Each structure stands twice: as C-alpha cells, then as structure tokens.
Amino acid sequence: MPEKILMMALSPTMETGTLVRWRKKEGEAVASGDVLCEVETDKATMDYESTSDGTLLKIVVPAGGQAKVGDTIAIMGKPGEDFSALLAEAKPAAVKPAPAAGSSAATVAAGAVATPTAPAALAPSTAGRIKSSPLARRIAMQKGIDLRSLRGSGPEGRIVKRDLDSAPIAGLAAAPAPAGPIYTPGPGDEVVPLSSMRRIIARRLSQSMFSAPHYYLTVAITMDELLATRARLNAGREKKASMNAFLMAIAGRALLHHPKVNSSWNGDSIIRHTAADIGLAVAQPDGLITPVVRDCGRKGILGIDAELADLVERARAGKLQPAEYDGATFTISSLGSSGIDEFTAVINPPGSAILAVGAIRKEPVVGDGDTIAIRQRMRVTLSCDHRVIDGAVGAAFLRELADMLENPMLALA
Amino acid sequence: MAGFDYDVLIIGGGPGGYVAGIRAGQLGLKAAVIERDKVGGVCLNVGCIPSKALIHQAELFRSIPNLRDMGLAVDTAGFDYTHVFDKSRKASDTLVKGVQFLLKKNKVETIVGEGTISGKNEVSLKDGKKITGKNLVIATGSRPRVIPGFEFDEKQVLSSTGAIMLPKLPRKAIILGAGAIGVEFSHVFNAFGVEVHLVEMLDRILPIEDAEAVQVLARAFQKRGVQMYTGTKAVSMQKGAGGVSVVLEDKSGTRKTVEADQILVVVGRTPNTDGIGLEKVGIPTERGFIPVGDFNQTRVPGIYAIGDVVNTPLLAHVAFKEAELAVEHMAGKSPHPRLDLLSIPSATYCEPQVASFGLPEWKATEQKVAFAKASFPYRGAGKSVAVEQSEGFVKVLYDPKTKEIIGVHIVGADATELIHEMLLGRTAELLPEDIAEMIHAHPTLSEAVCEAMRAVEGWAIHI
C-alpha cells in the first residue's frame, strides 16, 4: 500500500518547512534512515530521514516549495503501485506553486511565495479534519493560531478554548492586521519573501518585546585586568580563547550567585534554573541564531571556548540541531566587533535577561584622588523582564558581573 | 483491596452520595453508602422533588379560571391541601424506592446509621461498629440555616423541611428570604390562597439572578397579590398563641409589624461538617465548607468531599457532578477536571420560571467582564401566544470579540427546560450562529432560543 510521507516538525518551534533539495528521485529505492530531502526549518537546514523502506513514487512538494507540518510532501510504496487516490487527497493542502524549471532553489523559493500575505493559519479546506470547537476555531482565527500545532483536551481530543490559552501565536502575517496602511511596493522596489528564519525571528522577538516588560541597566566596565588575564592565558597558545568565552564563563558564575536572574516566566509560575545555559547571538546571512553552551557557571574558559568555536562554526553553516540553540536561560549579544559602543537587546525567551556588549575602547577615567588615567572601557546593557527580575535584583547581578570582569579573580572566589 | 471493607465508603446517601455509589459500582468498585435516614437526601425527601409535586398541583389549581373560561363550573369548596401534601409524599416515596433499587442494581450496600470519620480509612457508627474504606467520600449535605431570634420550632417558625411537611396550609404566612426556596414557597402558598409576605434583605427577590429577568417575575407576583418587602430585614419576632408577629425594618430605618400564622425562614443552608470527625484526620473547614481540589479531593489523600459540604453552589446537580468527578478520579480515570462555574444551571420553579447559567448582567458589570447582550421576547414565538404563555424572554450575554456565550437568562414558561440548549451551546463551545442556523421545530417555545441567537447575529426574524 502506498503511504503518504508527511512533513515532520524538525524543530520544536517549526510550523512550516521549505524543501531545499530532494536527495532521492522519483522511482528511486529508499531504505529506512536514508536522507530523503533537506528541509529548511525556522532555524536550520535539516536532513529529513526516511523511517521506512520502499520506493519514492511521487514528490508532491518540489524543491523550493513550502509545506506545513502534517502536509504530504511525497508518496512512497512499491514500484508501479497506484497512488492517485493519495495524491488527490494531498493536493488541496500541500501542493505549492511549481518552481520554474532550472532555477536554483533559492530563487525558486522567492518566486513561490511572492505574496507576502500567505498566512500560516487556517485553510478552511483542511480545518474540517481537526477536531475543534467552533469557539476554538474562531479564537484561533482571531489570534492567528494554527490549530494543527495544538493537542486537544476536550472530548475525543477535541481542541477547545482552554487549549488556545497558552498556544503560540503563529506568523505575524496571520495576526490581526494593524490599523496602518498595507504597503504597495513602488516601481523598482523589491519584495523579499520571508524566510522561515525571518518569520520566526519576527514572531519570537515581537512576542518577547510585547509580552515581557523590558527595562535596561547600563554599566561601564574597566577591562584592563581582564585583557591582561586573557593575554596571559593565550600566550603561546595556538588557538586563542575568545573574549566571548571569558564573558560566558564569568556571566555563568555571576548567574549562579543570582538565581532570580537565571529564571523563566512560565505564565502562572517562575522557573528557576539550576544551570546557566548561555546563548550567544551569532549573525547568519539571513538572520541570527543563538547557540547555547550549557552550564557555563561550572565550566572552564577553555572548555567553553572549544564548545563555542564548534557551535559557532556549525551555526554559520546552518547545521545546528534544535537542542543546540533552544532553551538559553541567559543570552549574550555582542556588537563590539562592529564598533558599537552600547546598545539594548530584545530578551530571548525562555531567558529573562540578555546582555548587550559594546566595544572596548580606551577612555579617560577619573580614578581615586581625582587623577585621570587612560583605561580600556566596555559598556554593557542588561535587558531584564520585569515580570521575573525586579530592578534591584537586576542591578545587584549586573554589579557583581561588572566587578568580576574588572577583577577576574572574584569569579574564582 | 488490602484489608479494607470497601473500595469506596460514602457518608451520606443524598444526591452526591448515592450517585457516588452508583458510579463506583459501574466502575467495578466495591462501595457502600452510610445513611442515617432515607437515601435521596434533602432533594428527594424534603426538597426538590416533593416541592415540584406541590408546585405542579399549585399550577393546576391556578388554572381553574381557564377551565371556567370554557364554561365549566368548578367548585373549589372541597379543596383539601392534605391531598396535595399526600401526593407530594407519594412522589418522594416512589423516587426514594427508585434510588434504593438503583443502588442495589449496582451492588452498592446501604448501611443505616450515622457515620463519623474515625480514621484515614475508617468510619464509626453510633453503635460503635467500625467500617473501613480505601477511599472515603464525605457527602453529608447541609441543613437549613438558623438565624438568631428566629429559631425553628417547626410549628410556627418553619424551615424549608417543616414547610414541605406541612399537612395544612396557614391563612397568612411570612417568608423570610427570597432565594429560590422562598420564591417557590411564595408561589405555592399564593396559588392556594395563602396571604404571603415575602421579605428579602437585598434589593430584589432572587438577588443572584439577572435583574431584568427577576423584574418579570416580580411583576407577576405583584399582580397576584404576593406582598414583597425588598431591602428589608426582620429585626425581631414574637410568638403568641394565635401566630407570630415580626418586626420588619427597611433601609430608611422605618419599622413595620406584620402578623401571620406562621413564618418560614429560608435564608440559606449550613454545611453539615461539624461533628463528622474531620478533626480526627486533619481536614480543615473554611466558613464551614471543606476545601477541595479539582477532583474534589480533600487535603487527606483518599478522602473526597462532594455536594453541599463544598463551597460550590448548593444544588443537587452540582453534587451529582462532583460525585462523578471524585469517583472517576479515585478509579484512576481522568475526568475533565473542575466545574466551570459559568456552566452550572440554576432553575427556579414558579410562574414564570426563571432559569439561568453564567454571568448575570450585574455581575458581569461588577467583575468588569466585557460583554454584549441580545434578547428575544416570548411573544415573538407564536406558540407562546397560542398557549397563553407570552410573558418572558430569552437573554444572552456574550463576549463581544469572540461571541462566546457567557451567560443566559430565561424567564417564562418552561424556562427550566429551555435553558439546556443554550447550556449545551456553552459547554460544547458552539457559537450563537450555530444555534441561530439550526432548524427549530415550529411552533415551539424553543424558537425563542433560536431567535435570541439570531438577535446576537443581528437578524432575529419575528420581531
């Protein structure tokens, strides 16, 4: 019997995947574990492995096409089997505009979703297959929630209102339209379709900014001591430990002293994390990703540096696994190398604080006895979620972090 | 079963207790109900059921003028309330036997006696006998609340129990408290020609119901000569040989003395949580009620509390539901937890009937819940005119954004039956348009329900 191959959620937050490339051709034999295709999720490009043996009978979503989680992307079975019934079933939901022959995956993707309004929400033709109450469907429509992302708690698994209370909001395109104008591109304007990553950045960061009341604490830190320490550690070392590794190790220790900062807002409770899992914002060609080094508070600088180097390299190549970028309890974002003196960052959930790190510059500093000295100074700004971290709590953490950076010995104390 | 006499040992055989027993039997648990009197509790013996028998007969009596309209001569001289009373007892006895049969059918034992908790898994009877259960269910119910100065003697000062068991009607009665019970007795007494003085401390009769709905009832009562004193309290009472004399005081402090043969004090009920051994196992009470979790578990694992001993509306149908929740929980099933307080129907049986669930308008305003409303009058449904029941309306409160149904209030004939289509709408999370678009049989009173939902959508037809 031929079988439908469905788009799977390849990351916990994935709602839609873009078929980057088919690695098997129609008519080709497939063994369980073979890579069928590559799928661009919201964060990375992942291999889609087959879970069964058989022959790839039909590719339903061609390279460059998009498929929602649960959509049919291909049909497998024995050679020569009739799969027309399955194909007919799959068609209304899954088939995306076919790509122009011969064009590369990237340009095709752009062409395929040229209408920026395509919401990831409810196609009425597919809604009938999901058990949900009329009220739940209306609320989902109003809030832009994809019912397929939910599990129903009502009778026979029906999705009911309470299941929507904590549901994630889908792509902003599906949210109620803002009162402002919808722009019409002028002549010569380029309409850039949203990549999965752009969509998820838009969603997550808007959600963070709109739901977490942010406030900001800035402090200037004298870095001479830390720079000297780093120079001594790196002397004669072929691979130099990065400044980020130092920051993460020291921030990790400061977080263990301030568990209220190393916490997550959980709707009706707050979760205090026992380990400081620190994410580092890393730029990518179309967006950014935050690989996470786990338990920084208990790891050495060189250990963190080695892990970070590996994660960053794979992050830039778009090859991170979800477990490697999810669940940061604290995040560091550095624009120092871009010459930015100071800035504020948007909190990266589930963390409740993010540290925005500026450039290190020589500055005149008024020291004890009103003498002026030239010092290496760095400005950092901590964004805090006021639901979790009150001002005095954030300030105490930032003060200790600054003290540790000014005098790295304190981090060992 | 590791040494326990029963899987489920239930103290009290009222609506909560007997349903807990039957449900336990259905789920294959060995259960027993301990009852000091008759199974069925207040509801079957001295509450809902006999009172409905009285109300039904009162309404038949009230329809005598309609018979005269047909040219019949009806002689009421032979009227004897004793027959009315006897019928109500018959209804009660029939249903008590029914419950006894259902318990037997589900292999639930009935133990006669007064049980008190003597240990985590143990209940003692008055004669010293001890019975053990893996799970205990406290379903001891409630009793009429006493107010100082108006203590029941059940001769001149009656509780609801005393009033139900009256074999002979007074000529003149004062009814203290205009909740559902007070209003129903007013209706019955008035129908049989008793001079009724209904006293309510709050600003209107049926104070927890929607004010607009109550207004329809209050007007009907007024027309029929029920004397209502709202915003009025009874400050003192004197008993004499010929009756009682009660001093009433209104909000301005003006006093008035009313005399009557009997006074009926129906100002609420007190949970029976004293003297049942809660302190032996460390179960606390809050204002007399036992605090419980989503499945009616008390603080002590294995002990559940249901019905009037819990601070949810003191209604038989709430006890039924809590019995299901508790027993299914102890049987390891996962019932849908928690009562949705907005989905509990209330029903007051008078003419017109008042039925509702969810928020009344005054409460939505008080709780600052955003709402919109629509209503449809009975007279817009042709049937109501044909059967001379055109007083009343169906009113819906809904969320202006999603149109979720958040409250429905029906006043009029058969309101207590009509409410359920709306209630299904809420619990199944239907939208007004679902009910508006459903074909309703013509001619029925249910058409008013359909039209009210069309009114929500802005297209009621028959108005």
Helix H, strand E, coil C: the string for A347-395 is CCCCCCEEEEEEEEEEEEEECHHHCEEEEEEEEEEEEEECCCCCHHHHH
User: Can you tell me the distance from the alpha carbon of B32 to that of B24, in angstroms, rounded to the nearest whole number?
Assistant: 9
Q: Which residues of B touch A160 (CB under 8 A)?
A: 429
Which among B329, B440, B442, B462 is annotated as catalytic? B442
pTM of this structure: 0.61
Q: Which CATH superfamily is domain A212-412 in?
A: Chloramphenicol acetyltransferase-like domain (3.30.559.10)
Given CB atoms, is A130 within the 8 Å cutoff of chain B? no
Distance of CA B301 to the CA centre of its chain: 30
> ω into residue B443 within 30 of 0, thus cis?
yes
Q: How far B418 CA sits from the closest chain A CA (Å)?
A: 22
Q: Do B429 and A134 touch (CB under 8 A)?
A: yes
HSE-up of residue B450 (Cα within 13 Å, Cβ side): 16
Record: contact A134-B402, CB cut-off 8 A = no
A contacts of B429 (beta carbons < 8 Å) = 133-136, 154, 160-161
Radius of gyration of chain A (CA): 25
Nearest to A139 among B402, B430, B434 (CB): B402
> Which residues of chain A have a CB within 8 Å of the CB of B428?
133
Residues of B in contact with A134 (CB under 8 A): 429-431, 433-434
Instruction: Answer whether A142 touches B (CB < 8 Å).
Output: yes
Q: Is A134 on the interface with B (CB under 8 A)?
A: yes
DSSP B289: B
Q: Could you read off the pLDDT of B84-99 as tens digits, one per residue?
A: 999 999 999 999 999 9
Extents of the domains making up chain A: 3-111, 117-176, 212-412
- Identify all chain A residues contacting B402, using CB atoms and an 8 Å cutoff: 135, 138-139, 142
A141 touching B, CB under 8 A? no
Relative to beta strand A270-272, strand A278-280 is unpaired
Q: What is the DSSP letter of A71?
A: -
Instruction: Give me B93's structure tokens.
Output: 């006895």
Encode burial over A46-66: b for 16+ CB neighbours within 10 A, e otherwise. Answer: bebebeeebbbbbbbbbbbbb
**Which residues does chain A have within 8 Å of residue B430's beta carbon, measured at their own beta carbons?**
133-135
> Are residues B430 and A161, on separate chains, in Cβ contact within 8 Å?
no
Q: Does A138 touch chain B (CB under 8 A)?
A: yes
Min Cα separation B296/chain A (Å): 20
Could you give the C-alpha distances from A359 to A274, A353, A354, A374, A406, in angstroms and in order?
31, 20, 16, 16, 15
- Rounded distance, CA A43 to CA A319, Å? 9
Fold of B342-457: Enolase-like; domain 1 (3.30.390)
Tell me how far CA of residue A181 lies from CA of A177, A184, A188, in angstroms: 9, 9, 20
Q: How many A-B residue pairs are in contact by the CB < 8 A criterion?
A: 28
Among chain A residues, the shortest Cα distance to B398 is held by A135
> How many CB atoms sit inside 10 A of residue B28's CB?
10
A-chain CB neighbours of B342 within 8 Å are none
CA distance B232 to chain A (A): 43
Cα(B434)–Cα(B421) distance, integer angstroms: 11
The interaxial angle of helices B180-191 and B211-224, nearest 10 deg, is 20
The verdict on whether B442 is a catalytic residue reads yes
Option in B401, B429, B433 nearest A161 (CB):
B429
**Rounded CA separation B389/B418 (Å):** 14
State the Cα torsion B295-B297-B303-B309 to the nearest 10°.
-90
- Put simply, whether A133 touches B (Cβ < 8 Å) is yes
Q: Along chain A (413 residues), what's the average pLDDT of each consecutive run of 10 residues? A: 81 78 88 85 79 86 84 86 79 42 36 34 45 90 80 84 70 38 73 80 88 95 95 91 95 96 90 94 85 94 94 85 88 94 94 96 90 95 96 97 95 84
Cβ B430–A133 below 8 Å, yes or no?
Answer: yes
Burial class, A155, CB count within 10 angstroms (exposed 0-12 / middle 13-18 / buried 19+): exposed
Pairwise CA distance, residues A92 & A71, whole Å: 10
What pLDDT score was predicted for residue A297? 94
Q: Which residues in chain B are contacts of A155 at CB distance < 8 A?
A: 336
Q: Is A194 exposed, middle or buried (0-12, 13-18, 19+ CB in 10 A)?
A: middle
A139 and chain B in contact, CB less than 8 A: yes
Contacts of A133 in chain B (CB under 8 A): 428-430
Q: What is the pLDDT of residue A166?
A: 65
Residue of B333, B340, B342, B402 best to disrupt the A interface, most CBs of A under 10 A: B402
Report the C-alpha gap between B45 and B36 in whole angstroms: 13
∠A256-A260-A264 over CA atoms, to 5°? Answer: 105
Q: Alpha helix (H) ranges present in A13-166? A: 84-94, 105-112, 124-127, 134-143, 161-164
Nearest-Cα distance to chain B for A135, in Å, is 5
Let me know: does A367 contact A316? Beta carbons within 8 Å.
no
Nearest to A134 among B336, B401, B430 (CB): B430
Among A134, A142, A155, select the one facing B431 at the smallest CB separation: A134
pLDDT in tens, A40-57: 877 777 888 887 888 898
Residues B35, B36, B42, B43: is their CA dihedral positive or negative? positive
Q: Residue B208 is which amino acid?
A: I
Count other C-beta atoms under 10 Å from residue A241's C-beta: 20
Give the angle B446-B449-B452 at the CA atoms, nearest 5°: 150
Return the residue of B nearest to A158 by Cα.
B428
Asked if A400 and A256 count as a contact pair (C-beta separation under 8 A), the reply is no
What are the residue ranges spanned by the domains of chain B? 6-144+270-330, 157-267, 342-457
Residue A98 DSSP SS3? coil
Chain B residues lying within 8 Å of A139, measured CB to CB: 402
CB A135 to CB B404 under 8 A?
A: yes
Neighbours of A406 (CB within 10 A): 16
Asked if A160 and B401 come within 8 Å (Cβ–Cβ), the reply is no
Contact at CB, A161 and B404, closer than 8 angstroms:
yes
- Cβ atoms A284, A316 nearer than 8 A: yes
Shortest CB distance from A142 goes to which of B336, B402, B433?
A: B402
Instruction: Kindly determine whether residue B430 and residue A139, on different chains, have CB atoms separated by under 8 Å.
Output: no
Contact B319, B152 (CB under 8 A): no
Structure tokens at A109: 């993707």
Question: Which chain A residues are within 8 Å of B400, Cβ to Cβ?
Answer: none
Partner residue facing A136 (CB), from B336, B401, B429: B429
Catalytic residue among A214, A257, A258, A386: A386
Fold match between domain A3-111 and domain A212-412: no
Q: How far apart are CA A223 and CA A378, in angstroms?
A: 7
Amino acid type, B279: E
CA distance B386 to chain A (A): 35
Which of A138, A142, A154 lies closest to B431 in CB terms?
A138
Residue A206 burial by Cβ neighbours in a 10 Å radius (0-12, 13-18, 19+) = middle
Of 3.50.50.60, 2.60.120.620, 3.40.50.300, 1.20.1290.10, which CATH number belongs to B6-144+270-330?
A: 3.50.50.60
- DSSP state letter for B314: -
With beta carbons less than 8 A apart as the criterion, state whether A77 and A54 touch.
yes
> CATH assignment of A3-111, given 2.60.40.1840, 2.10.240.10, 3.90.1300.10, 2.40.50.100?
2.40.50.100
From chain B, the residues in CB contact with A176 under 8 A are none
Residue A166's alpha-carbon distances to A104, A143, A205, A313, B13, in angstroms, are: 39, 11, 17, 35, 41
Alpha-carbon gap, residue B340 to B312, rounded angstroms? 10
Contact A138 B402 (CB under 8 A): yes
Interface probe, candidates A132, A135, A145, A156, chain B, greatest B C-beta count within 10 A: A135
Mapped onto helix, strand or coil, the DSSP state of residue B311 is: coil
Chain centre to alpha carbon of residue A76:
32
Judged by CB atoms closer than 8 Å, whether chains meet at B402 and A136 is answered as no
**Tens place of pLDDT for every residue, chain B, 463 residues?**
468 999 999 999 999 999 999 999 999 999 999 999 999 999 999 999 999 999 999 999 999 999 999 999 999 999 999 999 999 999 999 999 999 999 999 999 999 999 999 999 999 999 999 999 999 999 999 999 999 999 999 999 999 999 999 999 999 999 999 999 999 999 999 999 999 999 999 999 999 999 999 999 999 999 999 999 999 999 999 999 989 999 999 999 999 999 999 999 999 999 999 999 999 999 999 999 999 988 999 999 999 999 999 999 999 999 999 999 999 999 988 777 668 899 999 999 999 999 999 999 999 999 999 999 999 999 999 999 999 999 999 999 999 999 999 999 999 999 999 999 999 999 999 999 999 999 999 999 999 999 999 999 999 999 8
Helix (H) or strand (E) holding B423: helix B415-427
Homologous superfamily (CATH) of B157-267 is FAD/NAD(P)-binding domain (3.50.50.60)
Which chain B residue has the Cα nearest residue A140? B402
Amino acid at B166: L
Give the 3-state secondary structure of residue B322.
Answer: helix
Rg (CA), chain B: 23
User: Is B402–A160 a contact, with Cβ atoms under 8 angstroms apart?
Assistant: no
- Name B265's Cβ contacts closer than 8 Å, sequence gap at least 6: B144, B146, B147, B150, B152, B157, B158, B159, B176, B177
Whether ipTM > 0.85 holds is: no
Q: Tokens 């001079």 label which residue? A: B195
Searching chain A, which residue's CA lies closest to the CA of residue B430?
Answer: A134
Tokens in use for B306?
């249901």
Left if phi > 0, otherwise alpha if psi is -120 to 50, otherwise beta: which for A165? alpha
Q: What does the DSSP 8-state code read for residue A338?
A: G
What is the Cα–Cα distance from A223 to A357, expressed in whole angstroms? 12
Q: What residue spans of B27-153 are helical by DSSP H? A: 41-46, 48-62, 64-69, 81-105
The closest alpha carbon to A132, from A152, A114, A108, belongs to A152
Q: Is A176 on the interface with B (CB under 8 A)?
A: no
Of all residues in chain B, what percent are helix, strand and coil, respectively (each to 5)? 35, 25, 40
Closest chain B CA to residue A157: B336
Query: How far, in Å, CA of B402 to CA of B252, rounded?
Result: 44
Longest CA pairwise span in chain B (Å): 73
Q: Pairing relation of β-strands A330-334 and B6-11?
A: unpaired
Element (H, E) at A201: helix A196-211
